């Protein structure tokens, strides 16, 4: 979830802060002190353990410009590259995969600093670097022209890629695409309690926090299963991940502080399906229309989904994947 907020205030339930708000809950974590205890004693998890848990078939690891990227490449047909959102991983797209792979070759990746991909030896974590890695991965896989999609800050990566490399993109499918800092709001009681635990246990992020976080950003709480909470807890407690995410957040501040968003977003020319969780609190329903209006140089289709918040592909998978396939196959 790309940032949107002020640099002051209380932590929100999404990783942003209220009015008192900051783009990411992890902005709050930036201020927390790390302890010098060994990783295992801090509750952090090593990469090998995480790969054993979450890199089952068809996961593979490809070296791309010095980065060990976690990739899944499934299905046949026109290629579709999918990008995760903030604090998520390629597993976010699991609900779409059975249907998508009947029609497309689907390439999912964890772009640094997220998921199971390795740290970037260049020490650069940004939207621009993610765009570069997507380009280099596409070159390596022999993808000349393809569809691209993403959610939240992964939607930004997809958008930036299509703006910078329009000759390589056919169509875009994105959800909850930010274009500024999110509106101010009060954090939930659960998130306020989680913030206190974070202060006490940093850099470890306890399971209770991830439960509160996921329940806050979703409208369909039935998707917040114990398995989902465990995965977010485990992957985001990877040893070293917090520092990489902190670095990424700082680059996002610079984007929102310096980018002429209307001018830049207006450069998109490729057809785009913008999917939006109509019942979300992070980027509410009205913002979907505002973002669609910024994409004035492209054919835009906006779809709002009731019963979905910030993760529509997970909260309303049948409707969102149906619309995505229909859009991608249209001519």
Confidence band for 34, pLDDT divided at 50, 70 and 90: very low
Q: Quick one: average pLDDT of 92-111? A: 98
Identify the pLDDT of residue 184.
Answer: 80
Token pair of 158 as six digits: 């997809």
Structural domains counted in the chain: 1
CB proximity list for 217: less than 8 A, separation 6 or greater: 1, 13, 14, 280, 281, 282, 309, 310, 311
Backbone angles phi, psi at 170, to 5 degrees: -90, -70
Is residue 49 domain-resident?
yes
Q: Is the pLDDT of residue 22 over 80?
A: no
Identify the pLDDT of residue 39.
Answer: 53
Q: Is the pLDDT of residue 229 over 90?
A: yes
* Least confident range of 5-9, 36-40, 284-288: 5-9
Q: Quick one: average pLDDT of 306-310? A: 97
* Least confident range of 6-15, 16-25, 235-244, 274-283: 6-15
Is residue 301 domain-resident?
yes
Q: Which residues of 238-254 are buried (b: 16+ CB within 10 A; e: fewer)?
A: bbebbbbbbbbbebbbe
CATH, residue 41? 3.40.50.1820
Over the chain, what is the mean pLDDT? 88
Identify the pLDDT of residue 178.
Answer: 93
Token pair of 191 as six digits: 């998130």
The answer to whether 210 touches 229, Cβ cutoff 8 Å, is yes
Return the percentage of the chain with pLDDT > 90, whole number.
Answer: 76
Q: Quick one: average pLDDT of 130-141? A: 98
First CA to last CA distance, the chain: 31
Residues of the domain holding 146: 25-329
Is residue 193 domain-resident?
yes
The answer to whether 169 touches 146, Cβ cutoff 8 Å, is yes
**Cα separation, 331 vs 321, whole angstroms:** 18
The answer to whether 179 touches 290, Cβ cutoff 8 Å, is yes
**Cα separation, 62 vs 118, whole angstroms:** 10
Which CA distances in Å does 251 have to 202, 259, 313? 22, 12, 26
3-class state of residue 77 by DSSP = coil
CB proximity list for 6: less than 8 A, separation 6 or greater: 17, 19, 20, 21, 22, 181, 184
Is residue 14 domain-resident?
no
Is residue 168 domain-resident?
yes
Is residue 2 domain-resident?
no
pTM equals 0.88
Is residue 6 domain-resident?
no
**Cα separation, 256 vs 272, whole angstroms:** 22
Identify the pLDDT of residue 13.
Answer: 28
């Amino acid at each position: 979830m790309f940032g949107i907020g002020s640099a002051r205030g209380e932590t929100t339930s999404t990783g942003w802060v209220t009015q008192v708000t900051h783009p990411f809950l992890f902005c709050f974590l930036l201020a927390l002190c790390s302890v010098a205890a060994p990783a295992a004693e801090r509750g952090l998890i090593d990469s090998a353990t995480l790969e054993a848990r979450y890199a089952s078939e068809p996961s593979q690891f490809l070296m791309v410009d010095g980065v060990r990227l976690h990739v899944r490449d499934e299905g046949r047909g026109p290629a579709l590259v999918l990008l995760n959102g903030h604090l998520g991983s390629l597993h976010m797209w699991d609900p779409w995969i059975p249907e998508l792979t009947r029609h497309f070759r689907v390439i999912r990746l964890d772009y640094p600093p997220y998921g199971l991909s390795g740290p970037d030896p260049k020490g650069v974590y940004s939207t621009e670097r993610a765009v570069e890695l997507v380009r280099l991965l596409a070159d390596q896989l022999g993808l000349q022209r393809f569809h691209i999609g993403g959610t939240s800050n992964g939607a930004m990566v997809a958008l930036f890629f299509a703006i910078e490399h329009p000759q390589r993109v056919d169509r875009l499918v994105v959800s909850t695409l930010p274009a500024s800092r999110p509106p101010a709001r009060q954090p939930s009681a659960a998130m306020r309690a989680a913030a206190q635990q974070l202060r006490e246990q940093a850099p470890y992020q306890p399971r209770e926090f991830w439960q509160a976080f996921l329940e806050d950003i979703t409208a369909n709480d039935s998707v917040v299963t114990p398995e989902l909470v465990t995965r977010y807890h485990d992957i985001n407690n990877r040893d070293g991940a917090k520092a990489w995410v902190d670095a990424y957040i700082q680059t996002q501040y610079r984007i929102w502080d310096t980018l002429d968003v209307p001018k830049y977003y207006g450069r998109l020319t490729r057809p785009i399906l913008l999917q939006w969780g109509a019942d979300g609190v992070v980027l509410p329903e009205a913002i979907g229309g505002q973002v669609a209006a910024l994409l004035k140089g492209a054919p835009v289709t906006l779809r709002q989904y009731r019963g979905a918040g910030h993760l529509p592909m997970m909260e309303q998978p049948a409707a969102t994947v149906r619309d995505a396939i229909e859009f991608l196959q249209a001519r």
